[in-house]
């Protein structure tokens, strides 16, 4: 099983933010036997995001994006998904009610633009965000899975841990793996590469 991770955001490409999301996701996926075959970082541009999603779906079983699901004009992922998968965005009244509740609970006025976060691509399953506003999105397409997660690390991790991991764990072909790490010191890489670690 192969995954491609797409990190979306001008702030990553400008070097303002280190992309720790794809590292975390690769490790989590690896522990379930899903290898990350490639990773891309793309700007907040619908065309580029859409093309990258489309191409990635043609060569991997899972495609996961992080970022671009927020409320502002530079959050383009929903529109890019709609374009890449040729579906409409539909306003989800049920999720919008939840968003209103979140702001009511926080006791702060709800800016008008958060309505954007209640738009869901046709056929997508909404993955509830336990620590923020924007939901994750899951679409199945010809036996492949497209998953969009928010870029804010605690939100991404919450959705992965509470919504995605349980779902993935029960899929056919997923095998939970144990990783062993051997630390060495005082041997240069050029010499260390010939050491074999064999179990007795």
| Contacting positions for a copy of itself (CB under 8 A) | 12-20, 22-30, 35-43, 48, 70-73, 108, 111, 113-114, 188-191, 193
- For the CB of residue 52, give the shortest distance to a copy of itself in the complex, in Å: 9
Minimum separation from the CB atom of position 141 to a copy of itself (A): 23
| Closer residue to a copy of itself in complex, CB, 35/154 | 35
Closer to a copy of itself by Cβ: residue 72 or 169: 72
Compare residues 72 and 184 and give the one whose CB is closer to a copy of itself: 72
Beta strand extents in 26-151 (DSSP E only): 35-42, 62-66, 89-91, 119-121, 125-127, 136-141, 144-149
Is the CB of 34 or the CB of 139 nearer to a copy of itself?
A: 34
**Residue 12: exposed, middle, or buried by beta-carbon count in 10 A (0-12, 13-18, 19+)?**
buried
The two three-digit tokens of residue 7, written as one number = 């990190």
* Residue 86: DSSP 8-state: T
- Nearest-approach distance from CB 181 to a copy of itself, in angstroms: 8
| Size of the chain, expressed as the number of residues it contains | 200
Structure tokens at 9: 């955001």
Query: Rounded to whole angstroms, how far apart are CA atoms 173 and 60?
Result: 14
Q: Quick one: 82 or 99, whose CB is closer to a copy of itself?
A: 99
Secondary structure letter of residue 120 according to DSSP: E
E strands within 94-164?
119-121, 125-127, 136-141, 144-149
């Amino acid at each position: 099983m192969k995954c491609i991770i797409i990190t979306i955001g001008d702030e990553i490409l400008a070097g303002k933010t280190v992309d720790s999301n794809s590292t975390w996701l690769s490790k989590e996926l690896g522990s379930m036997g899903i290898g990350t075959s490639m990773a891309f970082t793309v700007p907040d541009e619908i065309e580029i995001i859409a093309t990258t999603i489309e191409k990635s779906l043609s060569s991997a079983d899972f495609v996961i994006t992080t970022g671009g699901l927020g409320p502002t004009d530079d959050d383009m992922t929903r529109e890019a998904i709609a374009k890449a998968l040729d579906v409409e965005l539909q306003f989800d009244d049920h999720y919008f009610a939840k968003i209103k509740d979140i702001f009511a609970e926080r006791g702060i006025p709800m800016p008008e633009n958060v309505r954007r976060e209640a738009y869901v691509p046709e056929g997508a399953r909404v993955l509830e965000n336990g620590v923020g506003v924007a939901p994750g999105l899951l679409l199945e397409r010809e036996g492949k899975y497209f998953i969009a997660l928010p870029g804010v690390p605690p939100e991404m991790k919450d959705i992965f841990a509470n919504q995605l991991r349980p779902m993935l764990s029960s899929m056919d072909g997923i095998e939970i793996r144990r990783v062993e790490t051997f630390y060495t010191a005082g041997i240069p890489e050029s010499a260390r590469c010939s050491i074999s670690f064999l179990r007795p």
